Chains A and B, each alone.
Chain A
Amino acid sequence: MAEAVMTRPGAPAAAGAAPLLSVQGLEGWYGESHVLHGISFDVRPGEVVTLLGRNGAGKTTTLRAIIGILGKRKGSIRYDGQETIGMASRNIAKLGLGYVPEERGIFSSLSVYENLMLPPRVKPGGMTVEQIYTLFPNLKERSGSQGTKLSGGEQQMLAIGRILRTGAKLILLDEPTEGLAPVIVQQIGRTLARLKTEGYTIVLVEQNFRFAQTVADRHFVVEQGRVIDMIPNAELDANIDKLHTYLGV
């Protein structure tokens, strides 16, 4: 029964390109509790997709499973054709994945500059520090400050900026707009749009589908540890009632 539900959204989309990231039947656990019950979806190169869903649906857990920091996971996660389900997270990152965690993960014992320089390069072609400073001028001004002394918005920029340095081609972004002022949300939206034009592939976890709508190509709806629906961005407005029901807003 679950099979039918879970394969539908992940089925190859019309564009036909081989997926850069393919998640099939992903199950995941936090300690004893079974959180993911067969997540399936595909992301094509250069695409921005969102995982939408209520709190506790398993969106963040899905990102943690993809980057390999979930305690126990089963199923299949292929990146660029390579199976990563059994790999250590440091080796998954080296394939070209960058992770921006929900809590942003800025280190308080490191300066802004040290935070920016911390993640090692995983692939050639990452941005230079100057390019990142052009993208986020605030970071340059405050490069000597303690990382956690930045405002929430600046910390989010730092968390994104440091991943852009590494050459990662797939970016996992967990609720980048959470708790931020509208003007900052707009800036992050513009940044994501720009990254998309530069060919980055992005998996975005969002509660705010109005924001998601401005940047994404497709939306996967996650509920109780499964992907239950896929809505192309163009059809989002037509499906707004359905989405309200899914998200309970």
Chain B
Amino acid sequence: MITILGVPMQALFGQLLLGLINGSFYAILSLGLAIIFGLLNIINFTHGAQYMMGAFVAWMLLNYAGLGYWWALILAPIIVGLFGVILERLLIARLYKLDHLYGLLLTFGLALIIQGLFRNEYGVSGLPYAIPSELSGGQRLPFMFLPNYRGWVVVASLVVCIATWLVIEKTKLGAYLRAATENPTLVQAFGVNVPLLLTLTYGFGVALAAFAGVLAAPVYSVNPNMGADIIIVVFAVVVIGGMGSILGSIVTGFTLGLIEGLTKVFYPEASSTVIFVIMVLVLLVKPAGLFGRTA
């Protein structure tokens, strides 16, 4: 058996893949958070619950409407995104002129309510969601076994992250978004409907979370707590990458997933804390985060 630094190669690559999968979810979720925070100045603590809702909507579509995974991949982000749009219009829009703290409290409270409702209805044991038949099975690579679905998760996440980044950096809509992030008042004074931009941005960020939720449904079981479990790590990722940095959140998400995977191989005891240790170190050296701009 081939070993690297005393670790069997199979185990090393297995953990790296697992790290990359986790990193995919970190990247999509922190990307949504970064977009929302950048433009709306809202620390969206409901993000985890919205990710969980994505997984649940996929499960519901399958079990109540007979619509499978591929439908869910499109419909769940739209449905949960619309839910986000309603939240923004009804509640979040009232907080823009107040301190960050109010947005954090509101979205945190909403997350608790949403999780509570789902827990009440579906319990906490988790509901199964099968891997779509097109993606079952796997590839036997020279150094490891790659389940097809896991490969798909990584590819789909990368594509969505890069596409989002391109829209923000290269299109007219993205230019409005970047400009409104810097100076919403002036963009408004040019005749742009900034409140609409805010609503759509929140809806899109939430849709990203729901998309991650659908991707996650076959990997982890569909569970009301799945969002609460991951969101704390995702916030650490956002802090490390730099609040509001688009590229930073993508790169940091994948990288930290990999680091977490490596830690599981070489020093498993630290695998659940390594991200937070990195966060502390980054905050000490670069308080604005690795990709953040100091104001």
A residues near B (Cβ < 8 Å) are 67-69, 88-94, 99, 101, 105, 107-110, 114, 117-120, 122, 166
B193 interfacial by beta-carbon distance below 8 Å:
yes
Chain B residues near A68 (CB-CB < 8 A): 189
Are A109 and B181 within 8 A (Cβ)? Answer: yes
Once bound together, how far apart are the Cα atoms of A214 and B179, in whole Å? Answer: 34
Cβ of A101 and Cβ of B181 under 8 Å apart?
A: no
Known: A89-B189, A101-B186, A118-B179. 14 other contacts (CB 8 A): A67-B189, A68-B189, A69-B185, A90-B190, A90-B192, A90-B193, A90-B194, A92-B189, A93-B189, A99-B190, A107-B183, A110-B175, A119-B192, A122-B191
Residues of chain A contacted by B178 (CB below 8 angstroms):
107, 109-110
A-B contact pairs, 16 of them (CB 8 A): A69-B189, A90-B189, A99-B189, A101-B189, A105-B183, A105-B186, A107-B178, A107-B179, A114-B175, A117-B172, A117-B175, A118-B179, A118-B187, A119-B190, A119-B192, A120-B192
**Is the interface on chain B under 10, 10 to 19, 20 to 34, or 35 or more residues?**
10 to 19
Q: Does B272 contact A (CB under 8 A)?
A: no
Please pick, from B182, B183, B185, B191, the residue contacting A120 in the complex, using a CB distance under 8 A. B191
Q: At the interface, is chain A mostly helix, strand, loop or mixed? A: loop
Which of A67, A90, A120 has the most C-beta atoms of chain B within 10 angstroms of its own C-beta? A90
Bound: A27/B190 CA distance, A: 23
C-alpha spacing A69/B193, complex, angstroms: 13
Kindly name the residue among B181, B189, B194 whose own CB sees the greatest number of chain A CB atoms within 10 A: B189
Question: For A93, what are the chain B residues with a Cβ–Cβ distance below 8 Å?
Answer: 189-191
Closest to B181 in A: A109
A166 vs B189: C-alpha distance when bound (angstroms): 12
- When distances are taken between beta carbons in the complex, the residues of chain B under 8 Å from A90 are 188-194
A contact residues around B186 at 8 Å (CB): 69, 99, 101, 105
Distance of A80 Cα from B179 Cα, bound (Å): 29
Measured between beta carbons, the chain B residues less than 8 angstroms from A99 are: 186, 189-190
The answer to whether B190 touches A120, judged by C-beta atoms less than 8 angstroms apart, is: yes
Contact status A69-B188, CB under 8 Å: yes
Chain B: CB-nearest residue to A98:
B190
Residue B176, interface by CB 8 Å: yes
Min Cβ gap A91→B in Å is 8
**Min distance, Cβ A1 to any Cβ of chain B, angstroms:** 34
Return A18 CB to nearest CB of chain B, in Å: 24
**In the bound complex, what is the Cα–Cα distance between A118 and B182 (angstroms)?**
13
A91-B189 Cα distance, complex, nearest whole Å:
8
CB pair B172 A166 closer than 8 Å: no
Closest CB-CB distance, A145 to chain B, in whole Å? 15
Q: A110-B175, A114-B175, A118-B176 are in contact. Are A89 and B188 (CB under 8 A)?
A: yes
CB-CB contacts below 8 Å: B142-194 with A = 172, 175-176, 178-179, 181-183, 185-194
Q: Within 8 Å CB of B181, what residues of A? A: 109
Chain B residue, CB-CB nearest to A120? B191
Q: How far does the alpha carbon of A118 sit from the alpha carbon of B193 in the complex, in Å?
A: 13
Residues of B within 8 A of A122 (CB): 191
Q: What is the chain A residue whose CB lies nearest that of B172?
A: A117
